[in-house]
Amino acid sequence: MMAPLLEVNNLTKRFDRRLPPVVNDVSFAIEPGEIFALLGPSGCGKTTSLRMVAGLESVDSGRIRMGGILLEGNGKPVPAENRGIGFVFQDYALFPHMTVNRNVGFGLRRLPRDERRRKVRRALDLVGLKASAEAMPFELSGGQQQRVALARALVAEPKLILLDEPFSNLDAVLRETTRVEVRNLLKSTGMTTLLVTHDQEEALSFADRLVVMNEGRIEQTGTPEEVYNRPRTAFVSRFLGRTNLIDGEARGCMAETVLGRIRLDRTIWGRVLVSLRPEHLTLRPWDERANRPPGVIVGRAFKGHDITYRIRFPDREWLVHTDNRTQFQTGDRALLAALEPGVVLDDPPDSVAVSTPPEPAEIAAGA
């Protein structure tokens, strides 16, 4: 394994002495060329973490090291402008009265003209905007403006790029295409990137690895697949998508639950809290010979390629996400079955209310 490009150890920051730290003992490491995301709800401390990495916010304690150089941690922070870090923020912050060319070249004013021109041209080429070099920012779409901001960050040849909610000002369609373009571009240049976002889908589709933050702390670090499929806590499982939480009595790799005996993703004994994603469950027809009472379908949302059902049992409701061949109608009786092992969470079973996922509006009425 390569040495990490950025290493953050035990980073802590408190703005108000009477409150818990807004960034609390945060550690992570980013490999060269990796796209890494800090994901979490508003106020969880991700922007403050990013600003400390950038050198825009002082650090209370902890260490930040980049390429083996200590940026923070010995009481002599390296100034932001000497860190070799580029930024792209949510609001692009392009100079409105300057052409794209001049916006991108702004930070290179001290270089000889020819060298500056060459670098600006290369950066604009990279983001696919060479033809817009003489345009003014207002003549460009939001996605194009965001690519100019990226070119402006890349032109300085930073070792690390920080992206703070860079796509949140774009409408849904543009957001998705810009995200794909920017990701391909960062990957083609081998740029190491730290993204901050509160958008789960964005983090899951954009990052190679991510941390999920909650109230200043890291809840989990992993690849998108790991954190989605193997959430360690109820917070992570709910923050990354909808899930059904159940408790059960574990005996090794199985547990007795209200669904009957289910497989678990690890070996454990005693009472456990288990997460089952809607797409890891399925429905089976019920008949008199079944040895369990049926549930009743109370909601159904057909979305073309898939269907989301809500099924009611006497004690609670469940969400089940199936392919479009699993056909039940509202009012049908059905049995629930787990297709994948239940994921055992670290939370003690009584610490989290076992519940049905939030009602998706479209199936509330049993449409």
- Decide: is 43 part of the binding site for ligand ATP (CB under 6 A): yes
Residue 358: phi, psi to the nearest 5?
Answer: -55, 145
- Closest-by-Cβ residue to ligand ATP is 47
Q: Which is nearer to ligand ATP, 43 or 348 (CB)?
A: 43
> Which stretch in 45-53, 62-70, 80-88, 132-140 sits in contact with ligand ATP by CB under 6 A?
45-53
- Decide: is 15 part of the binding site for ligand ATP (CB under 6 A): yes
Q: Which is nearer to ligand ATP, 43 or 270 (CB)?
A: 43
> Which stretch in 38-46, 105-113, 267-275, 288-296 sits in contact with ligand ATP by CB under 6 A?
38-46
d(CA 214, CA 226): 18
Residue 180 carries which DSSP code?
H
- Decide: is 155 part of the binding site for ligand ATP (CB under 6 A): no
Total number of residues that touch ligand ATP (CB under 6 A):
11
Among 4, 8, 37, 40, binds ligand ATP (CB under 6 A): 40
Task: Output the smallest distance, CB 57 to ligand ATP, in A.
Answer: 7
Residues forming beta bridges with residue 244, ordered by sequence position: 276
Q: Which is nearer to ligand ATP, 6 or 44 (CB)?
A: 44
Strand ranges (DSSP E) for 143-236?
Answer: 160-164, 192-197, 209-214, 217-222
Locate 42 and state its tokens: 């508003």
Q: Is the alpha carbon torsion for 115, 116, 117, 119 positive or negative? A: positive
Q: Which is nearer to ligand ATP, 22 or 129 (CB)?
A: 22
Task: Output the smallest distance, CB 70 to ligand ATP, in A.
Answer: 23
Q: Which of 129, 72, 201, 185 lies closest to 193 in space, CA to CA?
A: 185
Give the type of residue at 157.
E
- Decide: is 230 part of the binding site for ligand ATP (CB under 6 A): no
Ramachandran sector of residue 301 (left: φ over 0; alpha: ψ -120 to 50; beta: rest): beta
> Which stretch in 46-54, 76-84, 124-132, 221-229 sits in contact with ligand ATP by CB under 6 A?
46-54
Residues forming beta bridges with residue 196, ordered by sequence position: 38, 164
Among 6, 8, 11, 22, binds ligand ATP (CB under 6 A): 22
- Decide: is 198 part of the binding site for ligand ATP (CB under 6 A): yes
Q: 246 burial class (0-12, 13-18, 19+ CB within 10 angstroms)?
A: buried
- Decide: is 44 part of the binding site for ligand ATP (CB under 6 A): yes
3-class DSSP state for residue 204? helix
> Which stretch in 24-32, 41-49, 178-186, 234-242 sits in contact with ligand ATP by CB under 6 A?
41-49
- Decide: is 48 part of the binding site for ligand ATP (CB under 6 A): yes
d(CA 286, CA 362): 25
d(CA 72, CA 59): 7
- Decide: is 47 part of the binding site for ligand ATP (CB under 6 A): yes
Strand ranges (DSSP E) for 185-259?
Answer: 192-197, 209-214, 217-222, 244-257
> Which stretch in 37-45, 93-101, 104-112, 181-189 sits in contact with ligand ATP by CB under 6 A?
37-45
Q: Which is nearer to ligand ATP, 80 or 135 (CB)?
A: 80
Q: Which is nearer to ligand ATP, 46 or 300 (CB)?
A: 46
- Decide: is 65 part of the binding site for ligand ATP (CB under 6 A): no
Among 4, 21, 45, 224, binds ligand ATP (CB under 6 A): 45
CB 297 within 8 A of CB 360: no
Nearest-10 crossing angle of helices 142-154, 113-126: 130
Q: Which of 258, 362, 352, 274 lies closest to 310 in space, CA to CA?
A: 362
Site for ligand ATP, rule CB under 6 A: 15, 22, 40, 42-48, 198
